Each structure stands twice: as C-alpha cells, then as structure tokens.
Structure 1
Amino acid sequence: MSSSLPYYLGCPAWSNRDWIGKVFRSGTDTSDLLREYSRVFNTVEGNTLFYALPPMATVERWMAESSDCFRFAPKFPKAISHERRLSDAEEENSAFFKVLEALAHGGKLGVSFLQLPPSFNINNLDTLQSYLKALPKEFRYAIEPRHISWYDQADNEKRLDDLLENLGIDKVDFDTRPLNASEPDDDEERDARNRKPQMPIRKAALGKHPVVRFVGKNKVQKNAVYIKEWAPVINKWILEGKKPYIFAHAGDDAFAPYVARMLHEQLKRINLLLPDLPEFESDRAKPDEKSEQLDLF
C-alpha cells in the first residue's frame, strides 16, 4: 500500500484464506498472507494478542513480512483487561509492553487499544485513571468502553473524556449499527450480532489517532448509508492533521476487505487527493470471471 495514504485502513486479521483469489493474488501461499495483506492495507487489529502473546520470534517475523508503512494495532490482553481488570497485573503488563517495544523499535507499532470488560463501569473510573496514568508514555493508546454508564452525555462521560484528552488517549467508536439495522442475512451475521454489542456513537477525536471499528453487513451495499455518514467525519479528521485508524469488519469477515474498500472509495469522492487502494485480485479477473466473483459478495 502507498505510504501516502493519510490514514490507516485495515481489517480484524490478515490470515483469512477466503481472500485468496479474491482480495489476495491467486496462488498466494498461506505463509505469505501477511505480505499480501500489507500490499493492500496498512494496518490490522492485533486481536490475537487479546488471547495470547506471541513469542518474540513471531513478532520479528511479522515485522519482516509487512511493508514499511504498515502498523500493527495490538489489543491489550484479556489477562490485563478482563481477568485482572487493570489491577495487580504487573507481570502481564510487562510482557505486553515488551511486544510493544519490539514493534516500536521496528517502526511497526500503531495505536494499541484497550477494550474494557462489559461490566467495567463508571464506578471503576479511579481504577481506569490509575492504570492509564501509569502506561508508558512513548506509545499511543485508545480505549473502548463497553458499559452504558460511560455514555450518559453528562458528568460521567465528561469525566472520562477529560481524562482521555488530558492523557492524549483516544476513545474507540465501535459502530455495529449496520449489522443490527436489518434482519441477519445468514448464520454468520446472526452469530456476529449475538457477540458484538451496540454502543452509542460519538464521532469524537480526543487525541491524534481517532479509532473507528465499523461492523458492516455481508451484502456490502447495505452499508452505504453508514459509510456515507462516516466519510466526512474521517475526512475532517484527516484535514485537521490527525491520522485515524479505521478497521472494517463484517458479519463474516470474508467480506471485510470489501467494506473497507467501499469506505475508502466514499472518502475519495470528497477528498480527490486520496490515492487509490491497490487492486484486489477480483479486479484483475476477466469480465466473466469478475462477474462471477462479485456475485459472491
């Protein structure tokens, strides 16, 4: 991907084999999925770190296999966020920050995001404040609150926003509205709706790297109204000198790259200076083959 893209765009993972021959080039070996992914996108959610930290040799391999402009967006391990609930996690923190240090040293570290447990609410603000203030200052962070008490449009929300803004930390917008706007089209969407909460949308940039996690429908055109709503917001951030991170999901993430591309194409309609995304393999197909492939999406 061109390093001139003024924002970061990616998906929840890079290792989806369904993308071979559609997004990735035909014949891509499974050992080359990250190389191929970073040809198209310039960031990825580090969701695997939520479940387990990789060996340092794996981190080194990730950096070697990704393009120069690529940035990983690691997710804080659940051992820190959900099991320890941000308290007494010195050992877990140390291990996680070693991964961040390695990625930063290799020039591949983007924003790291901390997803709070669903039950972690405004009554835990002091714990959150203590944890955030103790974070290493050399890294960039974003917080994803998942309890409604953080979104009261009153004192609770102001206290959180003031804390984050003072620390230069962004708040993640987790937008599942497209997924929930109509009945599921398939079992994957039905399962995704059960797993992904509906949170209020604020479209606020508290720091330099606003984060949007957009969960779309598998039938990509059904996301158009929400993508048209987000495009001017993201473009405004870009014009203000911020560099947002935008992650596209779908009920079935086989379709996530197409959601991401739809968003970028909408951005290009209002910002003509944006470069094109690299071609998907389906763009190279013969007309009859291309029609067959697009019918899948």
Structure 2
Amino acid sequence: MRLHVGCAMWTHKAWRFPAPALRTYAGWCNAVEGNTTFYATPARSSVAAWAEQTPPGFRFVLKLPRTVTHERRLTGGAEELHAFLDAIEPLGPRTHALWIQLPGSFGPADTGALAAFLRRLPANHRYAVEVRHPAFFTEPQATAQLAAVLTGAGAEWVPFDTTAFFQTPPTSDAERDAWTKKPRLPLRSEALTGHPIIRYLGRDDQARTVAGWQPWVARVAAWLREGRSPTVFIHTPDNADAPELARRFHGEVRAAVPDLPALPEPEPAGQPTLF
C-alpha cells in the first residue's frame, strides 16, 4: 500500500530549489508528471541523470510524444515511439506509467485506433489514458466502450478534475489564463486498475484548493483500503504552492489511513528556502 503524490513539474521559479532541482523536489514529493516528454524526447543521458537524482521509490508518469498522440493520432509513429521508449529505459521501475493524453477531437469513433495502439505496446510498462472528448463522459455507450478497451489492455483512465477550479470565476492572472486553457469536463472518479492516477486542479487560494479535494481524500483512502496504490498530482493555476499542497494531501489521506507510510521529511533547500 503506497500513495504517490506530486506536481506537474519538478522545477518552478517560485520554489527556489537549488540545482539540481529534481534532487530537492524528490525530497518533497515521491512522483512527478513528465509533461516535457510530450514536446520532445529527452536524451538518454538526461534520463539517466533523472534516475541518479531520485530515490528508488520515486515515480515518473511520462507523457507520450505529441507526434504519436496528436499528430499521428495513434496510427503510425512507430519510429518516434521506439525512440521514446529507448530514451526512458534508464529510469527502469521509476517509470510508474506511460501517459497517453489524447486531444479533445479524439472521440468515440477513434476508440478502435486506441485499442489497436494499446495492443501494439510493449507489456513491460503500465499505461494510463487521458481523454478530453465530452462524449466519453456524457454518453453511456461511449463511456462503457472506452472503459472496456482500457480494462482489456490493463490500462487506467486518468481523470483531470477541474470542477473545483471552474466553480467560480477567476481572480488572478494565472487563473484567468488557466480558465481559457484547461478542460471543463464532468468529473470521473472510478478506478479501472490497482494503480489509479488522478490529476486535480485547485485554485491559487490554498483554502479553496483543499476544500475542493476533500472528495478525493475519501476516495483515495478507500482505494488504499482496497489494496490499490493511487497516484495524485496536485495542480494550481500558478503552482507556487504545489509541492507543499501535495504533501498536505498525502497527510490528510494518512490521517484517514494511519497504516500509510509517511513521506520523508524534505531536506533543507538552502538559502533562500522554499516559499
């Protein structure tokens, strides 16, 4: 039984981590979203450095390249996929899951392409799929079809919970920017596998972020009692407090599930310190 928590990145100007930032971040959180791999496949040597800077229990959820998911829409792209898989090999078991984020135009008519793609993927990785077409959330047949495809492949459905964020109008520049960019979709909270992955977007106000995640505290605690090992990523529009909030979420879940191991205390970040 383990809960992984983390943020959308491991470096942010507001955090003031010393170099190498990943080593310090890994003392605060035990997982991270690998969003940068969506835009460019990293050098294998860079990935090896990521492994060296993180403890064995740290986990990466790495996004597949956009050439595969958005440009080729899961058909073709074998060369790019092979290069990506080769590049991330040094992470070994630190790769928690490969994250297949699909564009909003990828709808129920494309489910067959997803099923075929999942069948072609190597079995030595875990896979997690994020869809953004509204029909997958509002049309029961499309929901059931997608869930069946994912379950058949042993893949997880990744929800991006933006409901708390969109409850009231934005109040900061970062919130106004996120208001135009983040998906506004119905909430999904069911797990398909023993390793559910949740992405949660709060507000720049910590109290509102914490209030909005309370249903997830209960759900994650229930999953842990069932023997699942969830991963939760905490986002806010400016992400200035994200590492602190991720640790707070872990602490709230641990209060409900006392057998959950505590996160290690982070080492001092040096001067100036975090936050």
Alpha-carbon separation, structure 2, partners of 1:88 and 1:211: 27
| Paired letter, 1:97 | L
Offset of residue 29 of structure 1: 2.5
User: Which string of whole-angstrom CA distances, capped at 9 and with x for unpartnered residues, describes residues 120-170 of structure 1?
Assistant: 100111111111111111100110010011123511110110111121100
**Aligned counterpart for 1:58 among listed residues 46, 64, 67:** 46
Offset of residue 279 of structure 1: 4.3
Aligned residue number for residue 79 of structure 1: 67
**Aligned counterpart for 1:218 among listed residues 173, 182, 204:** 204
Aligned residue number for residue 11 of structure 2: 15
Aligned residue number for residue 88 of structure 1: 76
Offset of residue 179 of structure 1: 1.6
Offset of residue 223 of structure 1: 1.9
TM-score, normalization: structure 2? 0.93
Alpha-carbon separation, structure 2, partners of 1:204 and 1:72: 22
Aligned residue number for residue 221 of structure 2: 235
Offset of residue 239 of structure 1: 1.4
Offset of residue 280 of structure 1: 5.9
| Aligned CA-pair RMSD | 2.3
Q: How do 1:1-297 residues align onto structure 2 when only pairs under 5 Å count?
A: 6-20=2-16, 28-30=17-19, 32-104=20-92, 107-279=93-265
| Paired letter, 1:103 | L
User: Which string of whole-angstrom CA distances, capped at 9 and with x for unpartnered residues, describes residues 50-82 of structure 1?
Assistant: 000111110111100111211111001111111
Offset of residue 273 of structure 1: 2.4
| Paired letter, 2:195 | H
Kept in 2: contact 1:188–1:251 (CA 8 A) = yes
Offset of residue 225 of structure 1: 2.8
User: Which string of whole-angstrom CA distances, capped at 9 and with x for unpartnered residues, describes residues 2-38 of structure 1?
Assistant: xxx7111110111113112xxxxxxx522x2111111
SS of the residue corresponding to residue 157 of structure 1 reads helix
Offset of residue 183 of structure 1: 2.1
Identity %: 34
TM-score, normalization: structure 1? 0.86
Alpha-carbon separation, structure 1, partners of 2:203 and 2:243: 12
Kept in 1: contact 2:50–2:91 (CA 8 A) = no
Which gives a bigger RCO, structure 1 or 2 (Cα 8 Å, sep 6+)?
A: 2
Kept in 1: contact 2:99–2:129 (CA 8 A) = yes
SS of the residue corresponding to residue 129 of structure 2 reads strand
SS of the residue corresponding to residue 200 of structure 2 reads strand
Alpha-carbon separation, structure 2, partners of 1:154 and 1:91: 36
Kept in 2: contact 1:44–1:72 (CA 8 A) = yes
Structure holding more helix per residue: 1
| Paired letter, 1:177 | T
Alpha-carbon separation, structure 2, partners of 1:157 and 1:202: 10
Kept in 2: contact 1:38–1:70 (CA 8 A) = yes
Alpha-carbon separation, structure 2, partners of 1:236 and 1:259: 20
Kept in 1: contact 2:155–2:193 (CA 8 A) = yes
User: Which string of whole-angstrom CA distances, capped at 9 and with x for unpartnered residues, describes residues 227-265 of structure 1?
Assistant: 211111111111111111111110101121233133223
SS of the residue corresponding to residue 94 of structure 2 reads coil
SS of the residue corresponding to residue 213 of structure 1 reads strand
Count of residues paired in the alignment: 275
| Paired letter, 1:48 | T
Alpha-carbon separation, structure 2, partners of 1:261 and 1:184: 25
| Paired letter, 1:95 | A
Alpha-carbon separation, structure 2, partners of 1:42 and 1:272: 18
| Paired letter, 1:140 | R
User: Which string of whole-angstrom CA distances, capped at 9 and with x for unpartnered residues, describes residues 88-116 of structure 1?
Assistant: 11111111121343322xx3211111111
Kept in 1: contact 2:107–2:136 (CA 8 A) = yes
| Paired letter, 1:89 | G
SS of the residue corresponding to residue 118 of structure 1 reads coil
Unaligned runs of 5+ in 1: 21-27
Aligned residue number for residue 24 of structure 1: none
